[in-house]
Amino acid sequence: MDEKDHLILHLLEENSRIPLEDLATMVEIDLDEAKARIKTLEESKIIRKYGAVVDWERAGDGDVTSIIALKVSPERDAGYDKIAERIARFAEVKTLRLVSGRYDFILLVKGRTMQEIARFVSEHIAPMDGIRETTTQFVLKTYKENGTPYDEREASERLPYSF
Amino acid sequence: MRNIVSERARLIPPSGIRKYFDLCIGMQDVISLGVGEPDYATPWKICEAGIYSIEQGITSYTSNRGYAPLCEALSADLAHRYGLRYSPDAEIIITSGVSEAADIAIRAVVDPGDEVLVIDPGYVSYAPCVTLAGGVPVPLPCRADDRFKITAEGLAERVTERTKAVILNFPNNPTGGVMGRDDYREIADIIVDNDLVLISDEVYSELTYGGTHCSPGTMDDLRERTIVLNGFSKAYAMTGWRIGYLCAPKEICDAALKIHQYVMLCAPVMGQLAALAALREGEEDKDAMVREYRLRRNLFVEGLNRIGLTCHLPEGAFYAFPSVESTGLSDGEFAERLLVEQKVAVVPGSVFGEGGTGHLRCAYAVGREDLSVAIERMGAFIEGLDRR
């Protein structure tokens, strides 16, 4: 990993559909080098996946998103990892993070209804060995996702010419 | 009736881009590469500081020199960033933009009849400011063959007994040229031997790609005769806040301060507090913007060369300065027809002095998508010329 790899990662994170020729020009390398570097980044799993930031509300999606905080008892030898692996296997869990503070894990969970999420938490997460406490917050509105603000503020108007 | 307007005001030429501006008005779907300012909004942390100052009722004058904590922070920042050493309470003035800083710097050193060498092509305000000060602007050419740097020969040829000062602007608007330490070394003896003042406008200093900005004020033999001008507009996307500054040895600074206090009194306090926040917290946002300009530069300059407009890789600022010589059109004709036929606004190079003739100034401080569309349209325009 060097500075150019970092730049490639930033550019791909910002727009994974960026034309390869443009990427190479911007990073100041030739096309073959760009391909080779991306391949290495993919193979080393630094690039995990290519995706899009989707405004699901705008897409008319009726899904409900919730943020669930968990307090757990870490296991001897495995610490938090083993329980994290179990939680991560559920398809409903979109994001799972170990965090500092009052709670240990923060989960982003998606479901069709609030009841479905409530059922998922009460039937699958809460009864799991080692879970001591859960708290569920439902997302009411998303203003910014993964660095992309959803508001449509117009850019301030600029005169066509200046010195 | 005698002339109502002063001779000095009459001597100043009208804006060279007026007619293109007039053509632009009312046109839809124009991609403008004519705007010499960042397309970013001021980073929010900086805006917050400005808003907070108003909320706190901090709306009064500051001292003429500027808000003391800003002068102190600036002094430390200049030392850290460029190795410039200026005392915050004797050698720095906060101004209303670099425009004002340039004006008071020129008026602080120029007497009527003094000749002032002005970089050509260069920012359009320098020569009129010299004229308004009663001086005589003399173009000091920098050429594409020299990567738009000032050469010792070029400088020596134009110095006369009446020459008082030299105005340079690196990284340069409109060419994107930069000067390194060796380049300044080459001209330093001429400046010293002829007892000249060097006015160095470095407002694009943070927009230096692939190298470190060199400020001539860091050179021992030049410091005593150098006025450094800089500001927050370009690096921190703060054009509308109008905060610039002037650094110079005490004697020059005292003279400039007198002019500043009589014409401006002080720079706006809200802007000064925002500028202080920029110094303290704006580094990351600034770096991200500079990184993006560099990416755009690479993309845009490659595109220009691909469509047949020869363009050196600018090493600073956010301007590309391609030659239109291959098209057989003058820069003015090219710019006008490109605007009318393809709705891309660029500035003819000759607006920036005779040295800019045959070139265009294209500001790549617009989004990458717009830059790609601009290249497509410019390519289509040139293809159309070939077919005729």
List of chain A residues whose C-beta atoms are within 8 Å of the C-beta of residue B347: 161
Write the residue in A25, A155, A161 that is nearest to B347 by C-beta.
A161
B124, B351 Cβ separation under 8 angstroms: yes
Please, what is the Cα angle at B374 between B370 and B380, to 5 degrees? 145
Residue B342 confidence (pLDDT) above 90 = yes
Relative orientation angle of helices A20-27 and A3-14, to the nearest 10 degrees: 140
Q: Which amino acid is at B311?
A: C
The β-bridge partners of A158 are none
Residue A49 CA to its chain's centroid (Å): 11
Q: Residue B218 and residue B83: Cα distance in Å, rounded?
A: 6
Q: Residue B308 and residue B323: Cα distance in Å, rounded?
A: 9
Q: Which amino acid is at B166?
A: V
List of chain B residues whose C-beta atoms are within 8 Å of the C-beta of residue A30: none
Write the residue in A28, A156, A160 that is nearest to B21 by C-beta.
A160
Question: SS3 for B274?
Answer: helix
B388, B327 Cβ separation under 8 angstroms: no
> A25 vs B124: CB contact, 8 Å cut-off?
no
pLDDT score, position B111: 98
Q: Residue B97 and residue A147: Cα distance in Å, rounded?
A: 32
H helix or E strand, kind and range, residue B198: strand B197-201
Q: Could you tell me where in chain A the CATH 1.10.10 domains are found?
A: 3-44
Q: Residue B226 and residue B221: Cα distance in Å, rounded?
A: 9
Give the residue from B178, B74, B170, B165 showing the smallest Cα distance to B123: B170
Write out chain A's pLDDT in tens, 163 residues: 999 999 999 999 999 999 999 999 999 999 999 999 999 999 999 999 999 989 988 899 889 999 999 999 998 888 999 999 999 999 999 999 999 999 999 999 999 999 999 999 999 999 999 999 999 999 999 999 988 888 877 667 788 888 7
Residue-wise pLDDT tens digits, B285-331? 999 999 999 999 999 999 999 999 999 999 999 999 999 999 999 99
Q: What is the dihedral of CA B299, B302, B305, B311, to 10 degrees?
A: 80
Residue with tokens 């100043």: B12
Buried b (16+ CB within 10 A) or exposed e, B344-377: bbbbbbbbbbebbbbbbbbbbbbebebbbbbbeb
Write the residue in A11, A155, A160 that is nearest to B34 by C-beta.
A160
The nearest alpha carbon in chain A to B21 belongs to A161
- How many CB atoms within 10 Å of residue B382? 20
Q: Residue B165 and residue B220: Cα distance in Å, rounded?
A: 18
Which pairs count as long-range contacts for B124-127, CB under 8 Å and 24+ apart, including other chains?
B124/A163, B124/B15, B124/B16, B124/B351, B124/B352, B125/A163, B125/B99, B126/B102, B126/B167, B126/B169, B126/B201, B127/B353
Q: Which CATH number fits domain A64-142: 3.40.50.800, 3.30.70.920, 3.40.50.300, 3.30.70.3340?
A: 3.30.70.920
The nearest alpha carbon in chain A to B313 belongs to A28
> A26 vs B345: CB contact, 8 Å cut-off?
no
pLDDT score, position B194: 98
Q: Residue B373 and residue B368: Cα distance in Å, rounded?
A: 9
The nearest alpha carbon in chain A to B26 belongs to A160
Choose, out of A15, A28, A161, the residue to mutate when testing the contact with B (most B CBs < 10 Å).
Answer: A161
Count of pairs with CB atoms under 8 A, one residue in A, one in B: 52
Q: Could you tell me where in chain B the CATH 3.90.1150.10 domains are found?
A: 7-42+282-386
Q: Could you tell me where in chain B the CATH 3.40.640.10 domains are found?
A: 58-281
Residue-wise pLDDT tens digits, B246-295? 999 999 999 999 999 999 999 999 999 999 999 999 999 999 999 999 99
The nearest alpha carbon in chain B to A22 belongs to B299
List of chain B residues whose C-beta atoms are within 8 Å of the C-beta of residue A11: 295
pLDDT score, position B17: 84
In angstroms and rounded to an integer, the radius of gyration of the C-alpha atoms of chain B is: 21
Residue B200 confidence (pLDDT) above 90 = yes
* Sequence-distant (≥ 6) Cβ neighbours of residue B76 within 8 angstroms: none
List of chain B residues whose C-beta atoms are within 8 Å of the C-beta of residue A160: 21, 24-25, 30, 32, 34-35, 345
pLDDT score, position B100: 98
> B36 vs A163: CB contact, 8 Å cut-off?
yes
Give the residue from B303, B151, B290, B306 showing the smallest Cα distance to B234: B290
CATH topology of domain A3-44: Arc Repressor Mutant, subunit A (1.10.10)
Choose, out of B302, B304, B339, the residue to mutate when testing the contact with A (most A CBs < 10 Å).
Answer: B302
Distance from CA of A28 to the nearest CA of B (A): 7
Q: Residue A152 and residue B211: Cα distance in Å, rounded?
A: 37
> B125 vs A155: CB contact, 8 Å cut-off?
no
Write the residue in B296, B302, B345 that is nearest to A161 by C-beta.
B345
pLDDT score, position B169: 98
pLDDT score, position B16: 83
Q: Which CATH number fits domain B7-42+282-386: 3.90.1150.10, 3.40.50.1820, 3.90.550.10, 3.40.50.150?
A: 3.90.1150.10
Q: Can you spell out the DSSP letters for B202-262?
A: -TTTT-B-SS----GGGSHHHHTTEEEEEESTTTTT-GGG--EEEE--HHHHHHHHHHHHH
Can you tell me the ipTM of this complex? 0.82
List of chain B residues whose C-beta atoms are within 8 Å of the C-beta of residue A155: 39, 41
Question: SS3 for B275?
Answer: helix
| N residues, chain B | 388
The nearest alpha carbon in chain B to A8 belongs to B295
pLDDT score, position B267: 98
- How many CB atoms within 10 Å of residue B378? 25
Reading the block at residue A87, the tokens are 């939680």
> B291 vs A26: CB contact, 8 Å cut-off?
no
Question: SS3 for A65?
Answer: strand
**N-to-C CA span, chain A:** 40
**CATH architecture of the domain formed by B58-281:** 3-Layer(aba) Sandwich (3.40)
Write the residue in B36, B295, B345 that is nearest to A26 by C-beta.
B295
The nearest alpha carbon in chain B to A6 belongs to B291
The nearest alpha carbon in chain A to B34 belongs to A161
The nearest alpha carbon in chain B to A159 belongs to B35
Distance from CA of B370 to the nearest CA of A (A): 14
pLDDT score, position B210: 85
Distance from CA of A149 to the nearest CA of B (A): 13
Mean pLDDT across the stretch B106-123? 98
Q: Could you tell me where in chain A the CATH 3.30.70.920 domains are found?
A: 64-142
- Under DSSP, the state recorded for B316 is B
